[in-house]
Amino acid sequence: MSGVGINYWAVLVSAIAAWLLGAAYYMALAKPWMAAHGWNNEADMLGPTGKTSPIPFITSFVAELIMAWMLAGILFHVGKGAFTIMNGIISAFLIWAGFVATTISVNYAFSKKPPMLIAIDAGHWLAVLLLMGIILGAWGV
């Protein structure tokens, strides 16, 4: 716990858990995700070097760390007693529905991405936020 009431260990654990969840999620949905992008195989995803760049993985973890910190901040801001599993789940879902799913839908619509890609990627962020909400709600401040 810190001076502002956010448990940074819970934030870190939430981010790590979310990152691992994302890895499992996209491994399970790799074929439909690649098909939605119009890629035929893993080689289509690679850059000019033919190797996987670490940048997307680092970016993903940093984004999930920030996301967990913000969710913890929102729960803390709601007030005393806000750190419950139910409040974590509800807050996570509302953030996803109000900001994440809507943003992805607009960006992908203008990019002419198929609905399947929207569903897969938005589903990933829903799972990430719900997992974070459960961990932060259970762990508390």
| Per-residue model confidence as pLDDT tens digits over 108-137 | 999 999 999 999 999 999 999 999 999 999
* Contacts of 131 by beta carbon, 8 Å cutoff, 6+ apart: 14, 17, 18, 21
Burial of 44 (0-12, 13-18, 19+ CB in 10 A): exposed
- Provide mean pLDDT across the span 65-84: 88
- Provide mean pLDDT across the span 11-39: 95
pLDDT digits (tens, 9 = 90+) for 35-63: 998 887 666 566 667 777 889 999 999 99
- Note whether 104 and 97 are within 8 A (CB): no
| Residue 11 clears pLDDT 90, i.e. is over it | yes
| Residue 4 clears pLDDT 50, i.e. is over it | yes
